[in-house]
Structure 1
Amino acid sequence: MSQCLFFGFILSKRCKYLGTSNIKMEEVSLRIGFNIFKVNRELLCKYSDYFRTMFNGCCVEWSEKQEFNINMQDPNIISIIIKFMETGIKDLNKYPLSKIIEISMAANFLQITELQQQIQEMLCFKLSESNCFEFMAVAEELCYTLLEQYSASYGLFSFKSMKPEHIPTIHKLIWYLSHPYLDSQNELHVFEFGLKWLFKNHKLDSILHIFACLDMSRVSNETLTDIKEFLGDYVNQLSDSLILEVIDCLLVLTGQELEISELSLCKHKVELCQKFSERVWSETLSVVKDSRSRLIKYVPVVPICISKKHNPELLPHSLYIFEDDKGFKEYLEVVEESLWGWNVTAWGLTRLIVVCGEYGRNTGNFIRDIKVYYTFMKKWIHFGVHLPPRRHAGVTTLGDLLYIIGGVGEQRKFLATTIVYDLKQRSCRSVANFPEAIVVPAVCTHNNKVYAAGNQNIYRHETRDDKDYWEVVVSTGGKMTHLQSYKKYIYCKKTNSRLYRFDPDVDEELERITSSSIQPALICNLGNDIKVFNQTDQDKVLIDEFKEDSLDSKPRLVSTPMENMRLNSLAGACSLIMTVPPMCADLSQYHRQYLVSE
Structure 2
Amino acid sequence: MACRADTELQPPSFEPPLLSEQINQTEEEQLAVEPDVIPDVTLKVEGESFYVNRGRLALQSPYFRALFFGCGVESSRRRIEIKGVNVEHFRILMEHSRTCNLALDRNNVLEILRTADYLQLEGARLLCSKFLERELHLSNCVGMMAFAWQLGCSQLYTAARQVVLTHFSAVYTQEDFLSLSKESIADLLASDDLTIMKDDLALEAVLRWVAFDPKREEHFLELIELVRPESLSLPFLTELLTRMKSSDHRAQLICKLNQYFPASWSMGRSVRRTRAGETLFVLGGFPKTFFLNPPNLARQFL
TM-score, normalising length from structure 2? 0.60
Contact persistence 1:215–1:291 (CA under 8 A): no
Q: What residue in structure 2 maps to residue 129 of structure 1? A: 138
Are residue 285 (structure 1) and residue 263 (structure 2) matched? yes
Match of 1:234 among 231, 243, 254: 243
Q: What residue in structure 1 maps to residue 33 of structure 2? A: none
C-alpha deviations, 1:277-323, integer Å up to 9, x for none?
A: xxx5x7353545696534446xxxxxxxxxxxxxxxxxxxxxxxxxx
Following superposition, the deviation at residue 101 of structure 1 comes to 4.3
Question: In 1, distance between residues paired with 2:103 and 2:267?
Answer: 50
| Equivalent residues, number | 237
Following superposition, the deviation at residue 99 of structure 1 comes to 1.5
Please state which structure has a larger fraction of its residues in helix.
2
Are residue 167 (structure 1) and residue 180 (structure 2) matched? no
Contact persistence 1:26–1:42 (CA under 8 A): no
Match of 1:28 among 25, 41, 50: 41
Distance change (3 Å), C-alpha of 1:56 and 1:240: closer
Q: Looking at CA atoms only, which structure, 1 or 2, has the larger radius of gyration?
A: 1
Q: What residue in structure 1 maps to residue 82 of structure 2? A: 70
Following superposition, the deviation at residue 84 of structure 1 comes to 1.4
User: SS of 1:283's equivalent?
Assistant: coil
Distance change (3 Å), C-alpha of 1:92 and 1:136: same
Contact persistence 1:212–1:287 (CA under 8 A): yes
Q: What residue in structure 2 maps to residue 185 of structure 1? A: 197
Are residue 139 (structure 1) and residue 148 (structure 2) matched? yes
Q: What residue in structure 2 maps to residue 92 of structure 1? A: 104
Question: In 1, distance between residues paired with 2:148 and 2:167?
Answer: 19
Structure 2, gaps ≥5 residues long: 1-36, 286-302
Contact persistence 2:244–2:255 (CA under 8 A): no
Q: What residue in structure 2 maps to residue 366 of structure 1? A: none
Contact persistence 1:105–1:142 (CA under 8 A): yes
Please state which structure has a larger fraction of its residues in strand.
1
* C-alpha RMSD of the superposition: 4.3
Question: In 1, distance between residues paired with 2:261 and 2:66?
Answer: 58
Question: In 2, distance between residues paired with 1:138 and 1:116?
Answer: 13
Question: In 1, distance between residues paired with 2:209 and 2:113?
Answer: 29
Q: What residue in structure 2 maps to residue 148 of structure 1? A: 157
TM-score, normalising length from structure 1? 0.33
Question: In 1, distance between residues paired with 2:162 and 2:82?
Answer: 37
User: SS of 1:71's equivalent?
Assistant: coil
Are residue 80 (structure 1) and residue 92 (structure 2) matched? yes
Distance change (3 Å), C-alpha of 1:35 and 1:241: closer
Following superposition, the deviation at residue 193 of structure 1 comes to 3.9
Question: In 1, distance between residues paired with 2:178 and 2:158?
Answer: 18
Q: Percent of pairs identical after alignment?
A: 18
What is the identity, as a one-letter code, of the residue corresponding to 2:245? N
Distance change (3 Å), C-alpha of 1:31 and 1:211: closer
Distance change (3 Å), C-alpha of 1:190 and 1:140: closer
Distance change (3 Å), C-alpha of 1:196 and 1:94: closer
Superposition map of 1:512-523 within 5 A: none
Are residue 118 (structure 1) and residue 96 (structure 2) matched? no
User: SS of 1:167's equivalent?
Assistant: helix
Question: In 1, distance between residues paired with 2:256 and 2:237?
Answer: 9
Following superposition, the deviation at residue 37 of structure 1 comes to 0.9
Distance change (3 Å), C-alpha of 1:113 and 1:156: same
Contact persistence 1:104–1:142 (CA under 8 A): no
Question: In 1, distance between residues paired with 2:152 and 2:65?
Answer: 22
Following superposition, the deviation at residue 115 of structure 1 comes to 1.2
Distance change (3 Å), C-alpha of 1:151 and 1:283: same
Structure 1, gaps ≥5 residues long: 1-23, 247-279, 298-526, 530-546, 554-598
